[in-house]
Chains A and B, each alone.
Chain A
Amino acid sequence: MDIFNDFSIGLFAMQLVILLVLLFLLAKFAWKPIMNSLEERESGIEDALEAAANARKEMQNLQADNEKLIKEARAERDAMMKDAREIKEKMIADAKEDAKEVTSKLIASAQASIEQEKQAALAEIKKNVADLSIGIAETVIKKELASKDEQIKLVEGMLKEVTLN
């Protein structure tokens, strides 16, 4: 079979024309819209995947933030609790001290006033005893000095006593 004898210029020409027309028609009405749609879809998928990855990352960030916030809040709470406890203890201690001071002061003033009262009472008792003794002495003297003899006797006795001293 002689292949070059079989070469038909007519068939070549027909094939060329039909193929070029086909190429034009398909390029315009099929390949272009198909390629565009495919690329659009692919970029859409890519965008969606990227968005999903971003969302995941953001979620992780948010979670990390949340955890951090919780940790901070917990630490703050702990600190506040500690402060409060300290303040409470200090207040109690202060209160105790104050109370001690006040009581000791009260006791001291009470002791002082008791002493004073005691002194006053003692003084009054002394005075009363003196008054009483004077009164007694008065009445005794009045009675003893009713006669002249007695008076002389007393003076003499006193003089004797003085000399004895």
Chain B
Amino acid sequence: MAIATKSIKFLVLFTIVFTSFTAFAGGDSPSSDKDGEINTPKGIKEYIKHHLKDSHDFSLFSYSNDAGERKHIGFPLPVIVWTSNGLKTFMSSEFHHNDDGHVLVEKGDTKLTKIHGKIYELDAGASIVSFDAEHHATNAHKVLDFSITKSVFGILLAGLLMILGFGSLAKGYKKGAIPTGVGRILEPLVLYVRDDIAKPNIGEKKYRKFMPYLLTVFFFIWILNLLGLTPLGFNVTGQIAVTVCLAVITTIIYITNGSKDFWAHTLWMPGVPMLLRPILAVLELAGFLLIKPFSLLVRLFANITAGHSVVMGIAALMILLKAQFGTVGATGISFVLTLFLTVIELLVAFLQAYIFTMLSALFIGMAVEEHDHAHDH
């Protein structure tokens, strides 16, 4: 009974946390139309674009106070950049939330500024950023940016959660064979990855070696997808760099673990005419080195980006429909639709983690498979 009450409470809290995203998204407004408020379709589009990008600050929301000043609630994150004069570190608060190159941060001889979420180093001698007609900086260049951005912060947070959660699960087994507490939720998930993803796709004999990677990737993506649905506003799995990194690791794993049979079939396909073999080899190589990783990275990136865009867009209906339906009507419509979409996004969060892991396992399975040569090629 106590457990049931607890889980209901948890569910309620869960729903509130995820659906309150609506309120946050609607009220938040860093790039302003007027006094930081976003009231126009263009402003909303800009805002969503801004959210989808990585950011150097961790901002929860912002508002205008009575004096008309813009106040940002959140905290700065460390900026670590490799400039032409070496490594420079400072806190992102030094940019004062400016994102269009008007605030310069001087570190020694290096002048740095932030334009559209990217950090630029001004060329020697320049003291102000000049832009061309398409709003590209003409006298500044991008630097290598190893900052702890919002996404890196999210990655670290997810990593910490995983180490805490699974560390406690691992420790729990020392006390008894049946896990307690949070381990009771985590154990079936681990078993799920093992029995429904790894074993069927890689095979009973070889799955063990790849379990750490598959488990890590599955929970990493899932937790980050879920974090993306909280009002914290992470969009880590919607960063192309993150999905590229995941896909590259998967590719490296199945390429380096390819069996003799795999390479034989890829490079010199038996059973087809000699003339076709080189063509097939090119196709197969392209498939394994480019197409498969590309499909992996684009699928995750596109799903999460689309999900965030749609949820935020629907949330913005609150503002756009105000004229037609009044404040209460517009908020009601937007709330119901956003609730519905957020529930779907919860499913998508799991589904994308599952698909990425499953396809990784499938590709690894294809690579490590050893054919029995009883049949003729």
Contacts and interface: CB of A to CB of B under 8 A. Distances in A.
Contacts of A44: 177
B216 A11 contact: no
B152 A38 contact: no
A27 B217 CA distance: 12
A16 interface: yes
Interface in B116-138: 118
Interface in A12-41: 12-16, 18-19, 21-23, 25-27, 29-35, 37-38, 40-41
A16 to B, nearest CB: 5
B343 interface: no
Interface stretch (A2-10, A119-127, A151-159): A2-10
B212 A9 contact: no
B211 A31 contact: yes
Contact of B166 (A23, A34, A41): A34
A1 interface: yes
Interface string B143-164: 0111111011001100100110
A11 B52 contact: no
Contact of A22 (B49, B144, B149, B216): B216
Contacts of A29: 163, 167, 170
A40 B174 CA distance: 12
A59 to B, nearest CB: 27
B242 to A, nearest CB: 5
Nearest to B173: A37
Contacts of B173: 33-34, 37
B249 interface: yes
B241 A11 contact: yes
Given A3-B301, A22-B220, A15 B152 contact: yes
A13 B241 CA distance: 9
Contact of B191 (A30, A32, A38): A38
B163 A8 contact: no
A29 to B, nearest CB: 6
Interface in B9-58: 49, 52-54
A7 B147 CA distance: 14
Contact of A30 (B49, B155, B166, B244): B166
Nearest to A8: B241
A10 B145 contact: yes
Given A10-B145, A29-B167, A1 B52 contact: yes
B280 interface: no
A11 B149 contact: yes
Given A10-B145, A15-B245, A41-B177, A34 B170 contact: yes
A162 B8 CA distance: 164
Given A22-B162, A26-B163, A7 B212 contact: no
A19 B249 contact: yes
A10 B146 contact: yes
Interface string B179-222: 00000000100110010000000000000100111011000100
A40 B173 CA distance: 10
B239 interface: yes
B255 interface: no
Given A13-B146, A22-B162, A22-B220, A34 B169 contact: yes
B240 interface: yes
Nearest to A9: B144
B242 A11 contact: yes
Interface string B209-237: 00111011000100000000000000000
A31 B193 CA distance: 12
Nearest to B301: A3
Contacts of A40: 177
Q: Which of B145, B173, B212, B244 has the most CB of A within 10 A?
A: B212
Nearest to B239: A11
A6 B215 contact: no
Contacts of B118: 8
Nearest to B249: A19
Nearest to A36: B173
Given A10-B144, A11-B239, A19-B216, A31 B166 contact: yes
Nearest to B177: A41
20 contacts: A4-B240, A7-B244, A10-B144, A10-B145, A11-B54, A12-B241, A14-B155, A15-B151, A15-B242, A16-B248, A18-B156, A19-B216, A22-B216, A23-B212, A26-B166, A26-B216, A29-B167, A30-B169, A37-B170, A41-B177
Interface of A: 1, 3-4, 6-16, 18-19, 21-23, 25-27, 29-35, 37-38, 40-41, 44
